[in-house]
Amino acid sequence: MEENTPNETSCEHHMIGGDGPNSYARNSQYQKQLLISAEDLIPQLIDKHLNNQNPSFNPKYTFTIADFGCSIGPNTFFAVENIISAVGNKYKKSNQNKTLDFQVFFNDLIDNDFNTLFRNLPSNRKYLVAGVPGSFYTRLFPKKSIHFAHCSTALHWLSRSPKEVTKSGKNKGRIHYLGGGKEGKQAYAARYEEDFGGFLRARGDELVDGGLMVLVVLGFGDGVDSSECSIGIAFEILGSCLEDMAKLGKITKEKVDSFNLPFYYPSPSELKAIIEANGSFHVEKIAELGAPMRHKPDPQVVTSHLRAVIGVLVEQHFGNGVVDELFKCHFEKFVKSPILVDEKYWKETNYFVFLKKNIFLAMVQRNTTIVAWNADGAQSSPTLLAKPKMLQAKGQKDLHTPNPAL
Ligand SMILES: C[S@@+](CC[C@H](N)C(=O)[O-])C[C@H]1O[C@@H](n2cnc3c(N)ncnc32)[C@H](O)[C@@H]1O
């Protein structure tokens, strides 16, 4: 990954910790609602796609689950318990559940408040736990060691804001690409492609063959004009409050100009294209979950939510003593915002993506390609991934041996 420069908004941020009034734990109803929306889909898809006849899923091994970008709870507990219950039921059906142990890895950035997370672990939990600090854009686990990966409302956080935007001033006068020009959006999209590609490469190494992954991704539908949307307007209000504070000499104009929120909201076709280019996973389902809190949003709830999520980022960039005033200003401007009276601005949605890791068994003959097979022996699409370089170099014959038994 490229080096960060001091002026860029980096990913070394985290949610507001603890369980005080501004904490993420008390201001994450939006994210919780999404997990509730996905609550029934997950068991259905686990039942259909988890192949516990595959040797990697032998119940004598511990079943490992990792929640990437878990934050401080309690949402992550809800998510992993739903997965555990569905996996347990699947093994029960084949009388295999007796010896099954679950190990849950909670991952987030190193500054995440893991203490609050561990303090609030459900006392009646039926799983072993470990915290795994570090960026999910890098490798975090040994090869083929994770059976189920989960990542909800975290992948829109880029590893950093795009360099091009900060350096060229393409985004001057705004703190995000939404509502801005084409070039700013392209720079963010390129950063996203790189980051999400890195996420998939790391998980492609870490998941067992036939391993499953759920992603919940905030985005915009294909073809939706995101220029005037609720998130963009909320960010514009935040940007105008920062401008006001700069005019009053409370922060510098340079600091405002170099502040670019590191968020990108992809469309389903962008997601699919990046997943297909990576080639390690087969998309089993993409469904739209909608956007919670859209009807009659409470301005205080929206501002508190924004503060819980980006308060630390703001403080890291502008220094101490800015956050209270900034979000007070945001609330005062937000109550007059058109978002509150017209639903036409609420264009963003959330995508539920269910992936299965391909098993790479077959190499097609006649100088052609490696073929990916998903774990039920069905050929994954797209099938043409790459020419097997080692075999070409040695002039060996390629094999074609899919194993439908796995
Ligand atoms: C909005 S919270 C979602 C938390 C939780 N998944 C939920 O549904 O409530 C996003 C989380 O992703 C984490 N995050 C952002 N970028 C990350 C990265 N590169 N690696 C690991 N965690 C990251 C943030 O620190 C934050 O805790």
Domains of the chain: 29-357 (3.40.50.150), 359-406 (no CATH)
- Beta carbon of 14 within 6 Å of any ligand 1 atom: yes
For ligand 1, is residue 9 a contact (CB within 6 Å)? no
Reference 52, options 96, 105, 82; nearest CA is 96
Closest approach atom of ligand 1 to CA 153: 3
Respond yes or no on whether the N-terminal peptide bond of residue 74 is cis (omega within 30° of 0). Answer: yes
The mean pLDDT of 108-122, rounded to a whole number, is: 94
**Could you tell me the distance, in angstroms and rounded to a whole number, from the CA of residue 325 to the centre of ligand 1?**
25
Return all residues near 336 (Cβ < 8 A) that are at least 6 apart: none
DSSP 270-315: HHHHHHHHH-SEEEEEEEE---TT-SS--HHHHHHHHHHHHHHHHH
Query: How does pLDDT run across 180-239, given as a tens digit for each residue?
Result: 888 889 999 999 999 999 999 999 999 999 999 999 999 999 998 888 888 999 999 999
Using a 6 Å cutoff on CB, does residue 157 contact ligand 1? yes
pLDDT in tens, 74-107: 999 999 999 999 999 999 998 877 779 999 999 9
Instruction: Give residue-wise pLDDT tens across range 253-307.
Output: 999 988 999 999 999 999 999 999 999 999 999 999 988 776 667 888 888 888 9
| 74 DSSP assignment | S
Q: Which atom of ligand 1 is nearest to the CA of 71?
A: 27
Q: pLDDT of 12-47, one tens digit each?
A: 566 777 777 777 777 778 889 999 999 999 999 999
Q: Is 154 in the pocket of ligand 1 (CB under 6 A)?
A: yes
CB 304 within 8 A of CB 229: no
70 lines ligand 1 (CB under 6 A): yes
- Its pTM stands at 0.86
Centroid of ligand 1 to alpha carbon of 279 (angstroms): 25
With a 6 Å cutoff on the Cβ, whether 23 touches ligand 1 is: no
pLDDT in tens, 46-71: 999 999 889 999 988 899 999 999 99
Q: Which atom of ligand 1 lies nearest, measured to the CA of 79? A: 8
Distance 69 CA to ligand 1 centre (A): 3
Phi and psi for 276 in degrees, rounded to 5? -70, -40
Q: Which two tokens stand for residue 252?
A: 């510098």
Q: Strand 281-288 and strand 128-133: pairing? A: unpaired
Contact between 331 and 299 under an 8 Å Cβ cutoff? The reply is yes
Asked if pLDDT for residue 380 goes beyond 90, the answer is no
Q: Please give the Cα distance from 383 to 370 (Å, whole number).
A: 8
Question: Is 216 a pocket residue for ligand 1 (Cβ < 6 Å)?
Answer: no
pLDDT class of 174 with cuts at 50, 70, 90: confident
Share of the chain above pLDDT 90, in %: 59
